[in-house]
Amino acid sequence: MMLLTHIFTWFMGELVGMDSYGNRYYRNVARASDRRERRWVLYKGLPEASKVPPEWHIWLHHTADAPLVTMELRPWQKEHMPNLTGTQNRYLPSGHDRRRGLPVKSTGAYEAWHPE
């Protein structure tokens, strides 16, 4: 399947740009006048949709006609972290059986509701 995408890109794709992760963004060279242009991304490494930065995401989804200038990280933003589901580094809440520890004790701030 990946080979077909690369062949299609070679014949029908026009490179629009590249992001900081090395992903390459393409659009159709020729398109019918009654259809929207087709846009796609070829990922560097494993395909992971969360690696598409916001400035390219809006272009891929036809929200903007041209890709935005690269956005800089705001002070409150973090660098990209891949989806770790299914790996040893996955998130496990406190008290989970696989976390190897005792559950966090209740603080007592919870009060049960009793109907009148």
- Quote the pLDDT of residue 22: 92
Sort residue 47 into left (φ over 0), alpha (ψ -120 to 50) or beta: beta
Q: What is the chain's mean pLDDT, rounded? A: 81
More confident residue, 30 or 15: 15
Number of Cβ within a 10 Å radius of residue 79:
5
Q: Is the pTM value of this prediction over 0.85? A: no
- Quote the pLDDT of residue 25: 94
Domain coordinates in residue numbering, the chain:
2-78
pLDDT, tens only, 36-78: 888 999 999 888 888 888 889 989 999 888 887 766 767 887 7
